[in-house]
Structure formats: structure tokens, C-alpha cells
């Protein structure tokens, strides 16, 4: 093991190198590009035996990745924002075809009011596509989950693509201390990829022909159930990783000071780091608060959430994106999962388009949740850090 001080993007690149990915198609987009640049250096310096393919668009990049995965090799790519949106059509291919492509999406805002900064409105819509989707909190987790992603995706009980999401700039371009494991240790953890269905003239298969209505419903149902069943594999892989490398980043949920908590916040990514600080501050002041860090949007940990919130008087959800005129996507999902519990819940939208999420705002979020616990919340959705008054 070597300790390096590296950015989140470089942590991912080290993970991909250690995972011995074989085909890496890519197209440049900020803030993902550091990943591809470092991987290109690894390949050109002979440190990683892989084929780097400069696709001419993200749509083609995902097509190349799907083709390579269907050809039976370990495949990796990374993108952000508009790039992920351009891949959108092709993201729907590998889940149903059961191809374990690993993609890292460096979260960045999508669309007009354009910018290159952090927002989750690029990856959140893609949770409908059938990919497993994991959000990491720091650079160490970015490396560790890149390794675990290949192991989970390629497990024959899973055989699904995995998308690891990390916060643009806050992680991608910020250096942190990262323990980079030895190759031998990683080789022990991550076996060689053994494909299930391969395009091979020695054993011809027809892959993804047109599927008439007589069969499509069952195929969708199988995919839905398979995604649900991946929870046990994710847990198993996390436990094995902890045993080998002495680190765990939590289960599907990462619970912080939830033991006797009366109210809590659900958060993903680096927002969880800010909220940990605030939880500590509030605990020092005698408030019984906690944090539920959601690590996976797919599979969505419904049962685990229900268990985690038992005993709470109110729950808040932090969303770094919004479904306009509705709620933040995480709030919608969490509330759906907890509907039967009649737990008072509020949605807290903030940090959009790269706006800083400050300690003060996070304290305000917890204050609102506390109000809601005693029936004093005046609304269901709060926008934080907004200039001027909310209507």
C-alpha cells in the first residue's frame, strides 16, 4: 500500500488501473477529464495494459463500451453532465443485456443556466435506466468503490452495469490523502472477468434482438428483481473488502450518530460531510440528531431506510437537484419508501449549480427538521441559500 495525496479523479484512475480494465473508451468533458488523462498516461507508460479508444462523442463512447463488454472484456469509462445525457439512449442497453460496464460519473450540472459545477441533475434521471448507482463521499471511497464496482458488476448473480458518482470539483479536483492498495492485494480481491454471454463465432448467440410484447414484461420484471437481489452482493463485497483492506464506507446506508436520534437528515455525496460536522455541533448542544448517508440510489435501500428511521420524530432529505414543480428526486424516493410510517418529512434543496453548501445552511436545514418534529414546519420543500424570500 502506498499513501498518495491525490484528487478524486486520480483516485478513480488508480482504481481502474488496479482493476486492470481492458478497454477504456472516452470523450473529454470537465470535470471528468483528469480520470482519462491519467489513465492515458498509465497506458502510454506501459503501466496499464489496456486499449484507450478516443470515441468521437459520449454516445459512441457508451456504444463502444457496450460492444466491448458484449465481446467479453472488462470495460470502463467516465463522463459528466452533458456527456451522461448524450449517453442516455445507450445507458438503457447494458442493464437489460446484462453487461457489467463500470462508469464513473463526475457530477456536474446539466442543461441551460449552464455551468461546469456540482449538481446531481445529471445522474439522478439515469436511475431509471437499470444501472446500479452509488454516490461516494470522499476520494478514498472513490477509489475503493471503483474496485468494488467491478467485483459487484461482474458477479454472476448480478451482471449489471454500475455507475459510481462523485461530486464534481468538491472531490474530482480536490486532493486528499488516499491509501492506494497493492496490485497483489487487489488481484486477490478482484478475480479476472468471466463473461456469461459473449459475441463469439465459436458459440454464436443472438444478443438483444427485437423483443415482442409476449416477452418484454417478463424481461423487465427479471431486471427489477435482479437489481433488488444485488443488495446482498453489495453487502458481501463490502465485508470482504473491509476484511482485506481494513476499510469500510458503510453498507447501503452509512449511519452516523443515529442510535438515539430523534430527528435526522438523509444526504448523499459530500453534503454528508458537511452534515456530519453539524450533527456533532448539535449533539454537543444536547440535540439528539443523526445522519443517514444514502450510498446507493440503485438498488434503493427501502427496508434499510425503514429500519434506520424507527424512533425518529422527523426526517429531512437533502437534494442537490430538483424535479421542477415536484420535489428533489431523493425526497420522492425516500418518502415513497417510508409512506406507511407517516413520519413527518421535509425536502431541503440546495447547493445547485455549484453553489457552496455552508455550515450555516446545514444548521438551518436541521433547525427546520426540528421544527417539523414538533409540527411547526410551514412548508414541505425548502430551498436553502436562496437570495430573497421563498414564495
Interface with another protein (CB under 8 A): 22-23, 25, 51, 53-57, 59-61, 63-73, 75, 89-90, 93, 97, 199-201, 204-212, 215
Q: Does the bond joining 299 to the residue before it have cis omega, within 30 degrees of 0?
A: yes
User: Of 72 and 125, which CB lies nearer to another protein in the complex structure?
Assistant: 72
Min separation Cβ 241 and another protein, Å: 26
Min separation Cβ 357 and another protein, Å: 38
User: Of 25 and 83, which CB lies nearer to another protein in the complex structure?
Assistant: 25
Rounded to whole angstroms, how far apart are CA atoms 326 and 323? Answer: 5
Burial class (CB in 10 A: 0-12, 13-18, 19+), 230: buried
Element (H, E) at 195: none
User: Of 88 and 287, which CB lies nearer to another protein in the complex structure?
Assistant: 88
Q: How far does Cα 342 stand from its chain's mean position? A: 28
User: Of 100 and 316, which CB lies nearer to another protein in the complex structure?
Assistant: 100
Angle at 320 between CA 319 and CA 322, to 5 degrees: 75
User: Of 207 and 367, which CB lies nearer to another protein in the complex structure?
Assistant: 207
Rounded to whole angstroms, how far apart are CA atoms 172 and 105? Answer: 10
Min separation Cβ 306 and another protein, Å: 37
Min separation Cβ 62 and another protein, Å: 8
User: Of 88 and 247, which CB lies nearer to another protein in the complex structure?
Assistant: 88
Alpha carbon separation from 322 to 122, 140, 350, 378, 387 (Å, rounded): 11, 28, 9, 20, 17
Min separation Cβ 310 and another protein, Å: 44
Supply 364's cell numbers. 438551518
Return the bridge partners of 382, or none: 348
Min separation Cβ 341 and another protein, Å: 41
Amino acid at each position: 500500500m502506498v499513501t498518495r495525496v491525490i484528487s478524486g479523479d486520480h483516485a478513480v484512475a488508480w482504481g481502474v488501473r488496479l482493476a486492470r480494465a481492458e478497454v477504456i473508451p472516452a470523450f473529454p468533458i470537465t470535470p471528468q477529464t483528469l480520470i482519462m488523462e491519467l489513465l492515458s498516461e498509465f497506458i502510454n507508460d506501459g503501466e496499464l495494459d489496456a486499449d484507450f479508444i478516443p470515441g468521437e462523442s459520449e454516445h459512441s463512447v457508451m456504444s463502444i463500451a457496450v460492444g466491448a463488454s458484449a465481446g467479453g472484456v472488462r470495460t470502463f469509462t467516465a463522463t459528466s453532465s452533458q456527456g451522461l445525457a448524450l449517453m442516455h439512449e445507450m445507458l438503457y442497453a447494458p442493464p437489460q443485456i446484462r453487461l457489467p460496464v463500470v462508469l464513473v460519473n463526475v457530477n456536474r450540472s446539466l442543461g441551460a443556466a449552464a455551468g461546469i459545477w456540482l449538481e446531481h441533475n445529471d445522474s439522478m434521471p439515469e436511475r431509471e435506466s437499470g444501472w446500479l448507482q452509488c454516490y461516494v463521499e470522499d476520494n478514498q471511497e472513490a477509489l475503493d468503490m471503483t474496485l468494488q464496482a467491478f467485483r459487484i458488476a461482474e458477479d454472476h448473480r448480478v451482471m449489471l452495469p454500475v455507475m459510481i458518482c462523485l461530486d464534481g470539483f468538491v472531490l474530482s479536483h480536490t486532493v486528499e490523502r488516499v491509501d492506494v492498495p497493492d496490485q497483489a492485494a487487489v488481484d486477490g480481491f478482484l478475480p479476472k472477468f468471466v463473461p456469461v454471454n459473449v459475441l463469439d463465432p465459436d458459440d454464436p448467440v443472438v444478443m438483444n434482438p427485437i423483443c415482442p410484447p409476449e416477452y418484454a414484461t417478463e424481461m423487465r420484471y427479471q431486471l427489477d428483481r435482479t437489481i433488488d437481489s444485488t443488495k446482498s452482493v453489495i453487502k458481501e463485497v463490502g465485508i470482504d473488502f473491509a476484511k482485506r483492506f481494513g476499510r469500510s464506507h458503510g453498507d447501503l446506508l452509512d449511519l452516523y450518530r443515529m442510535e438515539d436520534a430523534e430527528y435526522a437528515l438523509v444526504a448523499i455525496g459530500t453534503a454528508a460531510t458537511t452534515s456530519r460536522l453539524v450533527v456533532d455541533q448539535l449533539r454537543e448542544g444536547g440535540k439528539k440528531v443523526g445522519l443517514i448517508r444514502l450510498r446507493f440510489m440503485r438498488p434503493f435501500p427501502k427496508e434499510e431506510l425503514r429500519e434506520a428511521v424507527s424512533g425518529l420524530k422527523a426526517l429531512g432529505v437533502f437534494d442537490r437537484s430538483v424535479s421542477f414543480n415536484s420535489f428533489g428526486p431523493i425526497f420522492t424516493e425516500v418518502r415513497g419508501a417510508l409512506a406507511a410510517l407517516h413520519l413527518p418529512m421535509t425536502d431541503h434543496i440546495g447547493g445547485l449549480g455549484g453553489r457552496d453548501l455552508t455550515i450555516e445552511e446545514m444548521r438551518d436545514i436541521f433547525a427546520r427538521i426540528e421544527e417539523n418534529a414538533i409540527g411547526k414546519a410551514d412548508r414541505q420543500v425548502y430551498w436553502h441559500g436562496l437570495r430573497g424570500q421563498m414564495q
